[in-house]
Amino acid sequence: VLGEGKEGQQHSDSVSGPVRTLRVKMVLLGSSGVGKSSLALRFGKDEFRKTSPTVGCAYLTRVVHLSGVSLRFEIWDTAGQEKYHSVTPLYYRGAQAALVLYDISSRETFIRAQLWVTELERQCGPGSTVVWLVGNKADLDQNRQVSAQEGQVLAGSKGLSFIETSALSGDQVSELLDAVAHRVYGSMGEQQG
């Protein structure tokens, strides 16, 4: 477990020699209660807290090392703004990655996820942000209301990537961050030509 105030570290590919560090803003979206703060905490500190976690700062950081480059993720949580069904445009500004979460045990949050995807497209424009659709609370399989296939189909129809995670158990959390890091780095290369 990483101490308070320390940056999380995630090693992906092997590292040799001096590395560049690039800043990546990643925003978390989705209905209240789907696990945004919990997932942010897992990314940032690899912790889970049973009581609803208040991140207590604007964002958490996590460094992901790829070969020859380090990505310093700034992981932003809506801090409850989503209760009003919209988030200030400032939240989206400059985001290279976005995760749209729903809770696999709540169909309503899945329906709302589609609205968050639309809002994200409106705010960021098509194609400028790497977007993942995330079915969280995968540990609640016995209460599942949304099948993985439905998630996959929605993601496919919007051109998004898809994964199911559990912020509670940590399942698929580092895999998700790793996949986002690779995709964001790839898209930075494309933008630079």
- Is residue 170 part of the contact set for ligand GDP (CB under 6 A)? no
Judged by CB under 6 A, which of 115, 168, 179, 188 binds ligand GDP?
168
Query: Where does this chain touch ligand GDP (CB under 6 A) — which range of 14-22, 59-67, 146-154, 165-173?
Result: 165-173
- CA 132/CA 188 separation, integer angstroms: 17
- CA 145/CA 108 separation, integer angstroms: 9
Q: Which of 83, 176, 62 is nearest to 130 (CA)?
A: 176
- Is residue 35 part of the contact set for ligand GDP (CB under 6 A)? yes
Determine if residue 158 is left, alpha or beta; phi over 0 gives left, psi from -120 to 50 gives alpha, anything else beta: alpha
Q: What string marks each residue from 43 to 62 as x (binds ligand GDP by CB under 6 A) or -?
A: -------x-xx---------
- Is residue 167 part of the contact set for ligand GDP (CB under 6 A)? yes
Judged by CB under 6 A, which of 33, 72, 121, 161 binds ligand GDP?
33
- Is residue 34 part of the contact set for ligand GDP (CB under 6 A)? yes
Do 137 and 99 touch, CB atoms closer than 8 A?
no
Contact positions with ligand GDP (CB under 6 A) in 128-147: 136-137, 139-140
- CA 137/CA 143 separation, integer angstroms: 10
Structure tokens at 61: 């950081």
**Torsion angle of alpha carbons 176, 178, 184, 185, nearest 10°?**
-170
Structure tokens at 133: 């659709």
Contact positions with ligand GDP (CB under 6 A) in 75-134: none
Total binding residues toward ligand GDP, as defined by CB under 6 A: 18
* Closest separation in Å from C-beta 33 to ligand GDP: 4
State the DSSP H helix or E strand holding residue 185, giving kind and residue range, or none if neither. Answer: helix 173-192
Residues near ligand GDP (CB under 6 A): 30, 32-38, 50, 52-53, 136-137, 139-140, 166-168
